[in-house]
């Protein structure tokens, strides 16, 4: 698997009033089932409330389009979608993206993307502390193996560490934390 093989599935659900608890229970079940499918790489769920209804955006990542399609076509998913149908105000809205990650969750069609300057602010907020801290964390290893401390080798290690930490560890929860600010005009 190469990073370019990763595919992202966005699922948007608007929940009927008073059905939020039932939906949360259903969501826990479907997440548990999806995790058991080959190629499943993880899921993030963004919760929001607009127009009096709860909105859930689930961001699933699979190792390949074929593995994602196997999940989408599965009897397990079909049965779970039938179960949740009565809880949904607009049905099961899907969007497949062949790109590796969504840092800033794409907005529904009726809502524009967060302004780029806000995206830049959040990205800066995440990267700056890492750019200051990560080189310090690599220093003991550079002292132990001086050949790693060379200009190219050290920059490759430091940059790769920062990118991986940003994409997989810090950016998803930070964008959820700032979601209200990112999406206000």
90 & 144 share domain: no
Examine the fold and report which residue of 97, 131, 163 is the final residue of a domain before the chain moves on: 97
For the chain, the domain total comes to: 2
Residue 47 pLDDT exceeds 80 = yes
Q: What is the pLDDT of residue 96?
A: 78
User: What's the CATH code of the domain at 44?
Assistant: 3.30.70.100
Q: What is the pLDDT of residue 49?
A: 81
Whole-structure pTM value? 0.54
Examine the fold and report which residue of 63, 97, 131 is the final residue of a domain before the chain moves on: 97
Residue 167 pLDDT exceeds 50 = yes
Range of the domain at 85: 3-97
Examine the fold and report which residue of 42, 64, 97 is the final residue of a domain before the chain moves on: 97
86 & 143 share domain: no
DSSP string covering 151-185: HHHHHHHHHHHHHHIIIIIIHHHHHHHTHHHHH--
Q: What is the pLDDT of residue 48?
A: 84
As a whole number, the mean pLDDT across the chain is 85
- Residue 145 falls within a domain, yes or no? yes
Lowest mean pLDDT among 39-53, 79-93, 153-167: 39-53
Q: What is the pLDDT of residue 103?
A: 52
Query: Nearest-CA neighbor of 123 among 60, 182, 61, 47?
Result: 182
- Residue 81 falls within a domain, yes or no? yes
137 & 177 share domain: yes
Query: Once rounded to an integer, what is the mean pLDDT over residues 23-34?
Result: 93
Gyration radius of the chain over CA positions: 20
Q: What is the pLDDT of residue 1?
A: 44
Q: What is the pLDDT of residue 101?
A: 46
137 & 82 share domain: no
- Residue 26 falls within a domain, yes or no? yes
42 & 9 share domain: yes
H/E segment holding residue 120 = helix 116-144
Please, which residues bridge with residue 179 across strands? none
Query: Once rounded to an integer, what is the mean pLDDT over residues 28-37?
Result: 93
Q: What is the pLDDT of residue 85?
A: 93
Please, which residues bridge with residue 47 across strands? 56
Residue 108 pLDDT exceeds 70 = no
- Residue 110 falls within a domain, yes or no? no
């Amino acid at each position: 698997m190469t990073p370019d093989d990763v595919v992202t599935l966005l699922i948007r659900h608007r929940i009927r009033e008073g059905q939020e608890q039932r939906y949360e229970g259903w969501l826990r079940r479907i997440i548990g089932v999806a995790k058991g499918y080959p190629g499943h790489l993880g899921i993030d769920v963004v919760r929001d409330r607009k127009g009096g209804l709860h909105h859930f955006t689930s961001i699933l990542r699979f190792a390949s389009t074929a593995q994602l399609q196997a999940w989408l076509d599965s009897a397990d998913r079909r049965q779970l979608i039938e179960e949740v149908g009565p809880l949904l105000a607009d049905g099961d809205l899907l969007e497949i993206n062949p790109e590796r990650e969504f840092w800033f969750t794409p907005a529904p069609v009726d809502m524009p993307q967060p302004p780029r300057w806000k995206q830049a602010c959040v990205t800066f907020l995440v990267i700056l502390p890492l750019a200051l801290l990560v080189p310090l964390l690599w220093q003991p290893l550079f002292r132990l193996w001086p050949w790693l401390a060379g200009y190219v080798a050290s920059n490759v290690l430091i940059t790769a560490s920062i990118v991986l930490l940003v994409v997989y560890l810090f950016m998803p929860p930070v964008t959820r934390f700032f979601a209200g600010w990112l999406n206000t005009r």
